[in-house]
């Protein structure tokens, strides 16, 4: 606790949000570069010292996403990512950041499957699979498989009117 960097000890640093830490460490390019993917997936508000056990499921998924984004294109192995409702609790601007992050993974040659109800995410998809027509016992049938543009024309779709 006695060791300080620019007037902050380890406790002070761990209490910073990711966004605050990027600003604080702006002259330490390596640190800022390693933190930036967390901001890019909408986790700029998370504290550096926050326990992973306190993260929501969506936040934990986005931490994993950020770790892969931080690797860049150097990774030879191509991965299929499956995200389950990653936009839950996200502000509209953070959803845009998340979509940008998804596109960055796709640009790296990875595949992304997203289970999602957010219309903006559905609109941005290359391919949509809608199951239904209801939930539970009245669901599970294939309602549509195709592009979002094609989904708009599907009369059986519960999603189409919102696109």
In a domain, 50, yes or no: yes
CA atoms within 13 A on the CB side of 126: 6
In a domain, 15, yes or no: yes
Question: CATH number for the domain including 14?
Answer: 3.40.50.300
In a domain, 157, yes or no: no
* Two tokens, residue 68: 């892969």
pTM of the complete model beyond 0.85: no
Tens of pLDDT, residue by residue, the chain (163 residues): 899 999 999 999 999 999 999 999 999 999 999 999 999 888 999 999 999 999 988 888 889 888 888 776 665 688 899 999 888 878 888 888 889 989 988 988 889 999 999 999 999 999 999 999 888 898 899 999 999 999 999 999 999 999 9
Q: How many Å apart are CA 26 and CA 56, to the nearest integer? A: 28
In a domain, 142, yes or no: no
In a domain, 95, yes or no: yes
**144 with 157: CB under 8 angstroms?**
yes
* Two tokens, residue 106: 């796709």
For 33-51, how does the pLDDT look when each residue is reduced to its tens digit (9 = 90+)? Answer: 999 999 988 899 999 999 9
Q: Domain range for residue 42?
A: 10-125
What is the tally of structural domains in the chain? 1
In a domain, 5, yes or no: no
Q: Write the CA distances from 93 to 21, 40, 77, 87, integer angstroms.
A: 20, 11, 30, 11
Produce one character per residue of 48-58: b if its CB has 16 or more CB atoms within 10 Å, e if not.
bebeeeeeeeb
Q: How many Å apart are CA 69 and CA 108, to the nearest integer? A: 9
In a domain, 35, yes or no: yes
In a domain, 68, yes or no: yes
Sign of the alpha-carbon torsion through 106, 111, 117, 123 = positive
């Amino acid at each position: 606790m006695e060791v300080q960097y620019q007037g902050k000890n380890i406790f002070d640093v761990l209490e910073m949000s990711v966004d605050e830490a990027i600003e604080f460490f702006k002259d330490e390019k390596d640190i800022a570069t390693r933190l930036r993917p967390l901001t890019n997936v909408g986790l700029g508000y998370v504290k550096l010292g926050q326990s992973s056990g306190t993260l929501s499921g969506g936040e934990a998924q986005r931490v994993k996403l950020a770790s892969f984004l931080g690797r860049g294109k150097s990774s030879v192995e191509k991965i299929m990512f499956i995200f389950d409702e990653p936009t839950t609790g996200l502000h509209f601007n953070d959803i845009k950041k998340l979509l940008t992050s998804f596109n960055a993974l796709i640009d790296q040659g990875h595949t992304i499957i997203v289970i999602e109800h957010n219309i903006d995410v559905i609109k941005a998809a290359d391919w949509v699979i809608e199951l239904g027509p209801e939930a539970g016992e009245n669901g599970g049938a294939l309602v549509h498989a195709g592009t979002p543009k094609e989904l708009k024309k599907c009369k059986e779709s519960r999603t189409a009117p919102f696109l």
